[in-house]
Every structure is written in structure tokens, then in C-alpha cells.
Structure 1
Amino acid sequence: MSENERILKNEAAAFSKAARVKYFNIVIESGKGATVTDADGKTYIDLLASASATNTGHSHPHVVKAVQDQAAKLLQYTPAYFANDNAAKLAPRLAALAPFSGPAALAWGNSGSDANDAIIKFSRAYTGRPYVVSFTGAYHGSTYGSISVSSVSLNMSRKIGPLLPDVVKVPFPDPWKRLDGESEEAFVDRMFAAFKLPFETYLPAEEVAVILIEPIQGDGGIVKTPDAYMHKIYDFAKEHGILFAVDEVNQGMGRTGKWWSIEHFGIEPDLMSVGKSIASGLPLSAVIGRQDIMNSLGAPANVYTTAGNPVTTAAAMATLDVIEDEHLLERSTRLGKKAAAFFAQEKQQFKFIGDARMYGLDGGIDIVDPETGQPDPDATTKIIYRAFELGVIMISLKTNVLRFQPPLVITDEQLQSAFDILHQTFSELAAGKLSLPDNADEIGW
């Protein structure tokens, strides 16, 4: 029995099956930069970056030193009652990076989930309105508020209702909804008509507090909202006094070549949620918004015992240093172009590669049946499992989308090695050499 198998077997009886989406039977023991090593000592190129939570790479020396230095001074004293030096310095620094022209303020959380809960709280408080509008395909988190506005998996609502009331979901304009021969303009108009339908039939716009959207959906398949559609719903929100909020948990912190994915649209939101890579994967999040909105609630409406912890905020300060000093926004843009060129070339050779979307080092690659053009979950699973065997960690979304989100510090050489492995994997699939793993029915969302 391997060390991976031994550890997983020991864990199994004491670990809920609801707490992990299954992919590969490995135990991550260590990581450095864009690689991770399992309990058996095998090293992999990481194209997942801990679900886009380690944009600065694994165990970056500057972040590690900041954590170690702070841990030796003070591990924790609840920011719910008293400030700490790191959090007090981080708040104005992070607020200054927010895509707002006016003054911004923030509140800390422990995860992207509670940051999205906070968006609901502050929106309702500021507007005095109850309704929240979100989109199909969204993943906003697993707390009751954030799971209520999510709709990427039936297991996020199955057996756990009733969920938060007064949440209305509208169709996200993802590319799979576009009709054959339909122009971009016609597609946007049709999807905007579907967006407006609730407002025209049962949802009074004057009772809606907030529209919450991922400018680029993450777990929904790495899909950018069409620009024209985004501007239409933004203008609708402004016309009706509805707050416009964006979820930057997955797509923020430089992932797409900009600090925030909403910057690709030239739009200023009212509120945004940030998490994952804000502290290089340590448990920290923030809701950031216009100052007047963020002062619409009083304590303890959004306090948590460990949110804004001295150690996690030290990690976040160091994370911002790394992103700025190592020019990771520019690096994401440059390497993202190389990745886009690679997948475009592979698409020309392999007909089972459908649409390949790339926004910096942030991509979704559709795997389809060459004959029908329909999603091919089996081929997708064969690809990710074979890549794993060859030393690359890459997972699937929506059953047939390859998720490409390596750490932004990945080297050119590591990226090329990953491309070589993926090309070998695609070639073997095309030659009919790949088979499904024994536990294929358990793998993925």
C-alpha cells in the first residue's frame, strides 16, 4: 500500500463525503512555486493553484517569512474587539486597489463564502430592499447565504433547503446557450430579455437590493460575461437603484492579468468579494465596497472571531508585495497568450477540443464529441486522469471543461513541460489508447 493510500484509508472513516469533490487519490505533502509533491514523493506541475487560491505559488519565501515572523509575535487576538497592526495596514492598502473611484471600505471574513454573505447583508441594509439576483452556473460559496445564490451543482441545494428567501436566479449568458448561426448581438439581446423577464412578471425592481455576478464565471466553466450583456445589466441596475456586486474570489488578485476581472469591462461595481489568493491561500477574505454602503450596518452585524487575524493579514501584505514586485499581472498576461496559442494549435489538430477560452493564465477548454459537438465527460475524465499519471494536476468543471489556472509564478519551462504532457495526453486519446479509471463515476462535480 502506498503512503497516499494509507493516509486516505485512515482518513476515510472520519471524513464526510460532502467535504471533498473527488478527483485523484493523492495526499499533498508539500509545494514550491508551481509544483506540488504527494505523500509518495511524486512531484506534479500544478495547473490548479489550489482552486486559484495560490496565485503567488506554493510556499513563496516572502509569504512564508511574513507568516513565520508574525506567528512568533502573536498568533491570534480577535479583531472583533481590537485591531492588530497587520490588518490595520492592510485595510487601506487593499481598499486603494479596489476598482472604485470614490472612497472604499472593507470588512474581513474567513472565506469567500462569508464575503458573499456580507454582500447580501450590506446590500439589504443600504437599500432597505429584500431581493437578491444572481445567475445560473454561479459558485459563490457554501455558507447558507452564498450557497443560496449559487447554482453550479444540484448538491448545493439537494437535501439542505429551505435556502435563503428572496433570491432570484436568472440565466447566465454562457456560450453553450448560443444558437447555431446566432450573432453575438442577437445572443446578448436574447439573454438580456431572459434577464428582464422576472422584473416584468413578478419581481418589482424597486424591491431588489443587489445583482451579484462573477464577471468571469469560475466553476461554471471559466466563462467571461459578454461585454455588451454586462453593460446592459449594469445600466439596468443603475436605472433602478439596485446595487451592482461582483464576486472576485476566484478571478481576482491578478488571475486574469488585471487585479480584478471586472476591470476588463470598464465598470465600477458597488461591492465586491475577495478571498482565496488574497493571503496566498490562508483563510482570509474581504467584502469591499463604497464607503457609504459599508457603513450602513453596525457591529456586530459582520464580525468573526478570526477574520482579519494577525497571521493571515501578514500573509496578505506579503502577497500584495509579491504580486507587485514580481509583476504577476504582466506575467499572467504574457503567459496567458502562450497558453491561448498552445490550445488554439491543439484545437486545430484534435477535433475533440471545442471552445478554448483564455483570460490571462485563466482558461476553460471544452472537450466534446467530434461527431456531435456535445460535451464528452468520459473523454474529459480520461484526459485529466492521464495527465495526472504523467505529472500534471488539472481538473474538470461542468463535466467536460478542463480547468487551467496555474500559479502566476509558473516558469516558462514548467509551462512548456505541462503543454508537452497535455499534447501527449491528447495524442493518446486521439489514438484510442486511454481508458477510464475504475472510479470514473466518482470523479468531478
Structure 2
Amino acid sequence: MKAGVLPIVVLIGVLSSAGCSPTVEYGRRSANEPAFAGPYRTPIVHVSSTAQGSKTGGAASSALDGALARAGLRLELQNPGEDAIRALKKALGAEPDKFASDRTVAKRTIVLTVAPGDYRPADRFVNFRLRVEPLNFEFSGYTGTETEYSAIDIENFSLTKVNTVGLDIDGGGSASTTGKASAGRQTTLAESGLVTSRFENVTTNLDDATLDIYREAERGIDLSGNTLINIGVTARAENAANDLDTDMVATSVEISKGGNTLAPEAASLTIDNLSYLKPKDLKANLSFEYVIRRVLTKSNEYAEYNQTVAYEHGVCRRQNAVVVAARDLAVPRWGIFAIENNQPGFAVDLDSEFGNRALAFVDYADAVRFSVWMMTQKASRVGSSRLSLPRESGMKLDKGAYPRLAVRPSSEITAANREKSLPPDGWDCSSTAPIAPASGGRPEPGASGS
């Protein structure tokens, strides 16, 4: 009987070690990890841009709200007039936002989106470099780069250090001779900034002709995702005469006072000079050079040191890519047009000290209010400036037959400078060197390897 027991015990021990006590390696594996039978697809790369957001928001509303909060007041107004609002803001120190008259440099955020074509969870971008070479514009200024792992803002950097030195002497003795002397000095050094943990190395190199963004990941970090670069774009110096322009725009309207409508001679417009970059598609040649770490064996193990890997190096290029679309450079302006045959015809001109130009507003509400005021007053002037219609229109701002007016946006975007339809996959990645799978396919998790 004893001789027959031993094999049974041994058999149970073998089964137990083989199936009932899973190792850590088996616990890390996935049953549905994707496998790719052929070469990998090339990475997905997309480059676009968007306007940089304001850091401060509306100065007037913020100042007004702040002044009321500090005073512990709550303000309620029912249908206030513009004069009452202006007087209230002035009394509380809340001045309106100033008109940005110089728009020769457009502040943009370049958005680089990167994703692998085919990958397993363990595959990752190790490093990449994006190069942007402008064709019909140049860069002007750089204010920071932001990724999922780090943020570098060279406009705001902060460090606070306080050094305090003190001397305190307390003398003893009789009541008539006791005394205390003290002296002290405190020095404070303050800077501000945004610092995060270091998961990657981000380098940006910028001159007027080239923008280079280089990212290199630390161990275990994948660089897939978005990279944001805040820059300024402007016209090339040699093309400034053709690519920059000026206009005279109305930034403030004074057509009422104390709740009463002003006569044409008493009304006024505030005219400012607008300098701007003409709207057209800004194009560049792009190149994206990258290295992807491809895991060949043990891709489901957390520790990278135990994996067999290969590195895929490639370069993707795109020519004549639209970095900033013409529509994004347009400065919104509204003109007042005479209605002819139920259609807006010729624009109203303003003859002022700046010359005779089409009347343009930067605020739609101001344009509507002024057009209604013109029709109500049958105005042919505002203050000392004359209002008129072009001679070729055959129409006049005459009180006897005053035309109907309408507000319409004025746009400089034409078919010649508008973005053309481009294929979504306009990148040429023919120089990419993908990993050639061995034995008809890629090794599965658990395959032998070092």
C-alpha cells in the first residue's frame, strides 16, 4: 500500500506546480492582444493650427466684477442706457478693452497630432522631430510648448526665495538700565513659472525660416498624442508690401447722450488705423522623423528590460501643407450698404481727415446702430466728416430720397487665397523602414527571445 501512495502524491505535486499556481508573467498576459501578419502601417500625422486664447479675458467685465466684489455690492440695472453703463464703468475704474490695431503678427498654436498606424500596447514612440519650413510667411516669436507630460511657458516662470537676517539683544540690569535692541533684514526674490515632473525631453528651435520640435521620451513613456507650440506668424520681410495692409475702422460710436439721439453735427465716430496680415493660406513644407520601439516578445510584461525589441526609424514628408488657413486670418469688419433692387449694392464711404474710404466697423452691433441712426436722421455727415455713396452708384444720401441701408460683412477671402481641398493622407512616408516580420508573422506573446 505504501508503494502505491508515492506516485499519487508526486502526480498531485506536478499538477499543482503546472496549473494551479500561476506565475507573475502569466498574470500579466492578455488573451486578446492584437497580432499583425504583415508590415506595419505608417504613423498617422496631422498638423494644424488654432488661434491662441486670451490669458486675461474681458478686461472691462473683469474689472467691473472685481470692483463690485471688493466693495461688497450687488448691482442690478433694468434696461440701462449706454451712457449709464459707460459712466458706471468709469466710476468703478473698469475701462473697456482696447482695440488691437496692430495685427501684422498672428498668434497661433500649432497642433501636432501623432498616432502609430499599427501597434500593440507595449509599442511606443521613443522620439520624433517635426520640422516646419514656411513657404510664404515667416515665424515671429515663440512663447511655449505643451505636451501631455510637460508644459514649458517662457512667459511665466516662478521661483520664490526668502532670506531673513535678524539681530535681537536684550540687556539685563536694574530697572533704570534695562533695554532691548533689535535689527533685521529680509530679502525676497520672486519669479513665477510652471514646472512639472520630467517624463520627456522637449526641445524647440525657432528662427524666421524653420521651426524644429524635438521630443525624446523617458523609459516607458509613449509620445503619441498632441504637441502644442505657441508661435507668431507674419509676412516675409521681402513681401511685406504685398502681404500687409492697412484700413481705417470705426471702433466707437457716439450717436446718443443722456438718452437723447444726437444730430449729425453733434454725433461722432472714433476712427483707428488697422494694420493687418492679409488673409491667405499660409503654407509650409513639413517633415516628421521618428523612432518607434516595437516589442517582438513579451509585449505584455510591464518591465521593459525583459522584452525583445526592434526600433523602426522613418521619415514622413508633406509639401505645401496649409498651416494657417486664410479664413483664420480674416479681421471681422462690417460695412453699411445701400439697398438697390432688394440687394445690398455700394458701400457707404466716410470722408474724414484720413481720406475717403469705405466705412467699416469692428463691432456688428455698432454697425447696426449706426445704420439705423443714419436712416432715422437721414444723415449725410457725422460730426465734421462727410458720409456719401460712390459716384458710380448713381445714388445719393439725399433727405428727399434717402436709400434703405443694410449691414453686411466685408470679406477679403477669395477663391485665389482660400484653402484648397487636400487629401487627408497627403504624407509621403516612402522612406520609412518598417520591421519585416519573421516566419510569416509577428511573434506572439511568450515566444522565445532575450
Report the TM range for the smaller structure's normalisation: under 0.3
**Which has a greater percent of helix?**
1
Question: Larger radius of gyration, structure 1 or 2?
Answer: 2
The TM-score with structure 1 as length reference comes to 0.23
**Which has a greater percent of strand?**
2
The TM-score with structure 2 as length reference comes to 0.23
